[in-house]
Amino acid sequence: MAIISDDLLGCADSLIELGNETGFRSCISRAYYASYHHALESLHSAPAFASNHHSNLIGYMSNKAENKLEPYDSTQLKLLSYSLRQQREARNEADYHISEVTVSKEMAETSLASSRLFFQKWNDLKKAIAS
């Protein structure tokens, strides 16, 4: 059975409920991947990147010359790319810096809120082109 970005966001919600650092770290990671996949699901003309998928997607969204075939406002795509970049940085910290950084519930809540806002902004963009 295939899943969608909403499923990943639901998983992130569940992981924060573990109430421990492992859950908080995993929540941050799943929240980022929810946003990453939501962007992929929402874009119409993103190329199939051969490598560096995450940084290339962020670059595509932030570059008006690259995303010119998208039906969305390029300024809004650029703002979404900044959010995705910040979420990716938080995910990298949570996934790769396990002995250097203590991840708190507040950090996980911030990541969840960022991902939810990311979803909402995409929904607003989709509604704008549908009308």
- What is the predicted pLDDT for the residue at 130? 83
- What is the predicted pLDDT for the residue at 16? 97
Model pTM? 0.95
- What is the predicted pLDDT for the residue at 114? 98
- The number of domains in the chain is 1
Which residue range(s) make up the domain with 31? 5-130
Distance, CA of 24 to CA of 65 (rounded, Å): 37
CA distances from 124 to 35, 58, 72 (A): 15, 19, 10
* Other CB atoms within 10 Å distance of the CB of residue 43: 19
The CATH number covering residue 17 comes to 1.20.120.330
- What is the predicted pLDDT for the residue at 100? 95
Nearest to 6 by CA among 32, 38, 28, 29: 38
What are the residue ranges in the chain where pLDDT is below 70?
none
